[in-house]
Amino acid sequence: MTMRLACFRILLVLWCAGLLPVVAADSAPPAPKAEKKSIAYRITRGDRLSIGLLGERDLTVGGKRVEAIGTINLALIQDVRLAGLTIAEAQDAIAQAYRDGRYLRNPVVTVTVDEYAPRNVIVSGKVNIQGRQEIPADSEFTILEMIYKAGGLADTAQGKSVKVTRTLPDGSLKVFILDVDSARRGVERATSKDAGFVLEPDDIIYVPEKII
């Protein structure tokens, strides 16, 4: 008991002298640095694909290129739109087409990308580097990152109204108006999250001129 009391007194003296570190009860190790989020690959125009159907050797093909309109031509079911779909979605779309045509009751489809097409977007307007820019195939690439890749906004750019035009899988167009400038300047606004908008192949980005 005496030995414990002596140890306690020694520790108390050291603590009062500031020689012992103070550890907070709720302290936690620092959070690991966030890594760039990996996303499911989406098929794009120009990709070359192999299509396999279990037990149907005559319907299995390789080296089929996704056409400019986003479709691929397969035996019996003809054109199936695959551009913009993930591999799993493409497999489901092909299987559904064979079911709808009453060619196969329960098709098991596999889709493999044999050759990746260049994944580009077009950047125009008030940026320092206009033209085609490549985006990575296996990770997210945001509008803000693309603006930086294009050399940043020009002095006369209206960064709060950046327009992105996208071709949807059904061939229709959708336009997004994004505020890139707020996040770039570190200004907190409701639209600041627009800078995290994830680009897709063939997006067309236009940065308008600031109206003075």
Give me the domain span that covers residue 90: 48-115
DSSP bridge partners of 139: 38
User: Residue 19: what residue type?
Assistant: L
127 closest CA partner among 196, 35, 207, 210: 207
Answer yes or no: do 136 and 183 share one domain.
Answer: yes
Cα(185)–Cα(187) distance, integer angstroms? 5
Question: What is the structure's pLDDT at 3?
Answer: 60
Domain contains 194: yes
Given 90, 115, 140, the domain boundary residue is 115
Q: Is 170 left (phi over 0), alpha (psi -120 to 50) or beta?
A: alpha
Look at residue 140 and tell me if it is in a domain: yes
Q: How sure is the predictor about 26, in pLDDT bands with cuts at 50, 70 and 90? A: very low
Q: Give the integer Cα–Cα distance in Å for 209 and 158.
A: 5
Q: What is the pLDDT of residue 16?
A: 53
Write down which residue in 78, 98, 115 finishes a domain: 115
Q: Residue 74's domain is classified under what CATH number?
A: 3.30.1950.10
Considering only residues 8 and 201, tell me which one the structure prediction assigns the higher pLDDT.
201
39, two tokens: 């996303």
Residue 21 resides in a domain: no
In a domain, 212, yes or no: no
Using one digit for the tens of pLDDT, what is the confidence trace for 145-183? 999 999 999 999 999 999 999 988 677 899 999 999 887
CB 92 within 8 A of CB 98: no
Residue type, 11: L
Question: How far apart (Å, rounded) are the C-alpha atoms in residues 180 and 162?
Answer: 7
pLDDT at 144: 92
Number of domain units in the chain: 2
Arithmetic mean of pLDDT, 60-73: 90
DSSP for 39-89 reads ---B--TT-EEEEEETT-GGG-EEEEEPPTTSEEEETTTEEEE-TT-BHHH
Shared domain check, 203 and 152: yes
C-alpha torsion sign, points 157, 160, 161, 164: positive
